[in-house]
């Protein structure tokens, strides 16, 4: 594959080239990894900076309905929107519950939108890397907004929050019990909580739920990256397309404030460092499972089990091997 040509096409906002490039970063083949790295390096710093929005919510809460309506609203305003998915279920089973193109019919046919389902990978770390690189590619291809969708299970929120400028949590109207069901860590990650389905019979419940969450958010520690009034909860109806414009203006207000106060830049810098360390960690782990380290690990496993060597002495031996191979 001609990487220079692919790069030029991406910069010219060629969607097919973008799709091909994402396929390349999703590949596990060593030569593809090499080419992907080359491509990403050649694109570094080019294109504009998109607004990266992470969106999480449990299945059924209305993520695809919301993304469809929200995405259409943004494209109507002349913005180009990309949608990517980080799906931990695809990591486990190979099957995906997110990012299915047929779920967002209008948006997937929209020339100013680009939808990419989650790659099937063997572990979340793999999905994370591909998604992060796909975000960078979408940015290089000139998308103004990149929505990164995930389901509210496992660690995928952390992964998505670490590649987003803004993190949205989508919730359904529910009684007080549900509030406890949202883990504190996830609440702390959210910049804006959107209580969806605020329409028809559910409207009153949605407003109560929203008030409950507003109260809960006020109890959280004040974060330096937030202006007055954030994080906040608000109601929307994806089906009736209510509250979407207000939600968008809150997002832009928050982003503008963070840009003006250096928090936006600091967050991206912190994320770059986070992923750097994460890649080193993943790389080390991979080395542990190949070559002499793998053999030593297998041999020492048995000895440790028999009590012939202590766990720390055995670990030391393996780690020494890694050092040798790294030199
Ligand atoms: P996802 O699994 O989070 O992607 O959820 P979906 O977008 O597939 O929506 C799940 C169900 O909730 C569907 O039957 C939608 O029609 C419904 N739904 C989504 N948004 C709304 C909304 O704003 N109001 C109402 N009443 N139903 C909604």
Atom of ligand 1 nearest to the CA of 240: 23
Which token pair is 42?
Answer: 């050649």
Q: Is 188 exposed, middle or buried (0-12, 13-18, 19+ CB in 10 A)?
A: middle
Ligand 1 geometric centre to CA of 179 (Å): 19
117 and 252 share one domain: yes
Ligand 1 geometric centre to CA of 52 (Å): 23
181 and 110 share one domain: yes
247 and 314 share one domain: no
For tokens 């999703």, name the residue.
26
131 and 28 share one domain: no
Q: Is 194 in the pocket of ligand 1 (CB under 6 A)?
A: no
Work out the angle at residue 237's Cα, subtended by the Cα atoms of residues 235 and 238, and round it to the nearest 5 degrees.
Answer: 130
31 and 62 share one domain: no
Whichever domain contains 5, its CATH number is 1.20.5.170
Number of domains, the chain: 3
276 occurs within a structural domain: no
275 occurs within a structural domain: no
135 occurs within a structural domain: yes
Are the CB atoms for 233 and 217 separated by under 8 Å? yes
Alpha-carbon gap, residue 100 to 182, rounded angstroms: 25
Which token pair is 44?
Answer: 């570094």
294 and 182 share one domain: no
174 and 37 share one domain: no
Looking at residue 119, the DSSP 8-state letter turns out to be P
Are the CB atoms for 238 and 70 separated by under 8 Å? yes
35 and 105 share one domain: no
| Closest C-alpha among 256, 240, 252, 244 to residue 73 | 244
Residue by residue, pLDDT tens for the chain (327 residues) are: 799 999 999 999 999 999 999 999 988 888 998 999 999 999 988 777 899 999 999 888 999 999 999 999 999 999 999 999 887 766 556 556 665 556 788 998 999 999 987 776 656 666 788 889 999 999 999 999 999 999 876 678 888 999 999 999 999 998 666 666 677 788 889 999 999 999 999 999 999 999 999 998 988 888 888 999 999 999 999 999 999 999 999 999 999 999 999 999 999 999 999 999 988 888 888 888 888 888 989 999 999 999 999 999 999 998 888 875 544
Query: Which domain covers residue 310, as residue numbers?
Result: 288-326
């Amino acid at each position: 594959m001609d990487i220079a040509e692919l790069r030029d096409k991406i910069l010219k906002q060629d969607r097919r080239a973008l799709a091909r490039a994402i396929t390349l970063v999703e590949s596990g083949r060593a030569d593809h990894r090499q080419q992907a790295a080359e491509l990403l390096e050649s694109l570094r710093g080019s294109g504009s900076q998109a607004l990266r929005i992470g969106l999480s919510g449990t299945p059924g809460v209305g993520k695809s309905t919301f993304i469809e309506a929200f995405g259409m609203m943004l494209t109507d305003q002349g913005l180009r929107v990309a949608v990517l998915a980080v799906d931990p279920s695809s990591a486990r089973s190979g099957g995906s519950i997110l990012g299915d193109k047929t779920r967002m019919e209008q948006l997937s046919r929209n020339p100013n939108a680009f939808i990419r389902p989650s790659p099937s990978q063997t572990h979340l770390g793999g999905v994370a890397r591909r998604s992060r690189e796909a975000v960078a590619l979408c940015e290089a291809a000139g998308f103004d907004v990149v929505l990164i969708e995930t389901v509210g299970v496992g660690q995928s929120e952390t992964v998505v929050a670490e590649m987003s400028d803004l993190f949205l949590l989508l919730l359904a109207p529910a009684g007080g019990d549900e509030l406890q069901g949202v883990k504190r860590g996830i609440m702390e990650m959210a910049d804006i909580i959107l209580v969806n389905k605020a329409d028809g019979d559910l409207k009153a419940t949605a407003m109560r739920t929203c008030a409950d969450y507003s109260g809960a958010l006020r109890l959280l520690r004040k974060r330096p990256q937030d202006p007055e009034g954030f994080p906040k909860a608000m109601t929307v109806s994806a089906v009736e397309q209510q509250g979407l414009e207000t939600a968008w203006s809150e997002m832009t207000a928050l982003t503008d404030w963070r840009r003006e106060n250096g928090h936006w830049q600091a967050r991206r810098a912190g994320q770059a460092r986070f992923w750097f360390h994460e890649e080193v960690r993943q790389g080390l782990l991979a080395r542990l499972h190949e070559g002499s380290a793998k053999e030593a690990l297998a041999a020492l496993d048995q000895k440790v089990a028999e009590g012939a060597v202590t766990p720390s002495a055995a670990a030391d031996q393996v780690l020494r091997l890694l050092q040798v191979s790294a030199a």
